Structure 1
Amino acid sequence: MPHQPLRRRLFARTAALAAAITLGGCGFHLRGPQPLAFTTMHVGVSEFSDLGAALRRQIATTGSTTVTEDAATAQARLQILANDRGREILSLTGAGKVREYQLTQRIRFRLVDAGNNELIPPTAIAAQREYTFNDELVLGKEQEEALLYRDMQSDLIQQIMRRLAAYRRPQ
């Protein structure tokens, strides 16, 4: 009986080692910053907005691209055509009060080069979240809504970055 914990630990370590070898052998690696095909990029949204600041931060982390505020000197320009948020009622209580909301955020963007040629045509991406509402906890629910919008915006920025990273200039 005293050897039972030792056997379990040995088995757990062996299983962990086997999993690490298997994952390493199949080419698995954590997703890191993806290099972009441009050395300079202009982001067409205010650097003082949440969206603009987050996009600039993400582009800077690629290590291959710097953000320039002068659109004329940039190799590529990311244009945000629309950034819309919405809130819809999903369900009501028997008393006619709101029980659930659905939040949506849609961003339309395109990427153009210095000659105004479209590299990525106008593309729409969207995210949505649902949450329950309680009118007795209005302040807490407002904070939850703000958190959900930040989460959606983060998801949408990651989608934009993946699409920018997928673009490859013709040789």
Structure 2
Amino acid sequence: MTPFVRQLPAGSAPRRLALLAMLSACLLLAACGFRLKGATPLPFDTLYTNIAQNSSFGVAMRRAIVAASPNTRIVDDPNQAEARLIQLANDERLRQLSIDADGRVEEYELNLEFVFQLVDARGHVILPPTTLRSTREIPYDDTVVQAKQSEITTLFQQMQQAMVDRVVRHLTAPDVIEAFRNAEALPVEAEPSDLSPVSNDPAPTGTPLWGTPSLNPNPGMR
């Protein structure tokens, strides 16, 4: 009597082998500490920031923090926050980089500088004052002033978004998380920071921060 032999569906064995291989690779990556880019939970559940929430920079910052750490809630009252992200400075500058023989600007340099620190509810300095800078160059044509101003505005917005991403990477760094968990061993800020909301957007009229580009009598040139 011929013994019964279960026939596997055609192609099932290769699929099983492929599935096992993928599972083994995932286990190996997990053992090595690999983590997909995404949420990076912060060690605090509530955060206050003096970056005005009605500014585009403030909106982008809050969105990025929540995306990186979904369990973290942004609060309006600093007294209800376990940690405080304090903006110390946010400076946008437009500098003439080169001019032609007729004194017309040929190229501008865009500079963005953001200074911030992170403290806990008791004032322990988790992340000391940190300065982040970004510089971009853009050619200029005074025959299309409006178009160039729009281009400069867009470029500044892109620089601000990139700055937001850099700030979040600092906040979610392992050493910062470890510092918060051991905050008692850290120094307390000498003077309490100004926690008043700070706006970072252009004037309400919509006029760019730098106004209409014009010839600087003392242009910074290379």
Indicate whether the TM-score tops 0.5.
yes
Compute the RMSD of aligned alpha carbons: 2.0
Q: How does 1:87-126 map to 2 (within 5 A)?
A: 87-126=94-133
Q: 1:152 aligns with which of 137, 147, 159?
A: 159
Partners of 2:77 and 2:92 lie apart in 1 by 28
Partners of 2:93 and 2:146 lie apart in 1 by 19
Render the CA deviation track for 1:83-137: whole Å, top value 9, x for unaligned: 0000111111121100000001101000010001111000000111110000011
Kindly indicate whether structure 1 or structure 2 has the higher relative contact order, using CA contacts under 8 Å at least 6 residues apart. 2
Contact 1:59 1:66 in 2 (8 A): no
Partners of 1:143 and 1:30 lie apart in 2 by 36
Q: How does 1:43-58 map to 2 (within 5 A)?
A: 43-58=49-64
- Number of equivalent positions: 150
- Compare CA radii of gyration and give the structure with the larger one: 2
Alpha-carbon deviation of 1:64? Answer: 2.4
The residue aligned with 1:71 is 78
Q: 1:142 aligns with which of 120, 132, 149?
A: 149
5+ unaligned residues in a row in structure 1: which ranges?
Answer: 1-20
TM-score when normalising by structure 2: 0.63
User: Which amino acid in the other structure matches residue 33 of structure 1?
Assistant: A
Contact 2:43 2:181 in 1 (8 A): no
User: Which amino acid in the other structure matches residue 88 of structure 2?
Assistant: L
More helix by share: 1
Alpha-carbon deviation of 1:31? Answer: 2.4
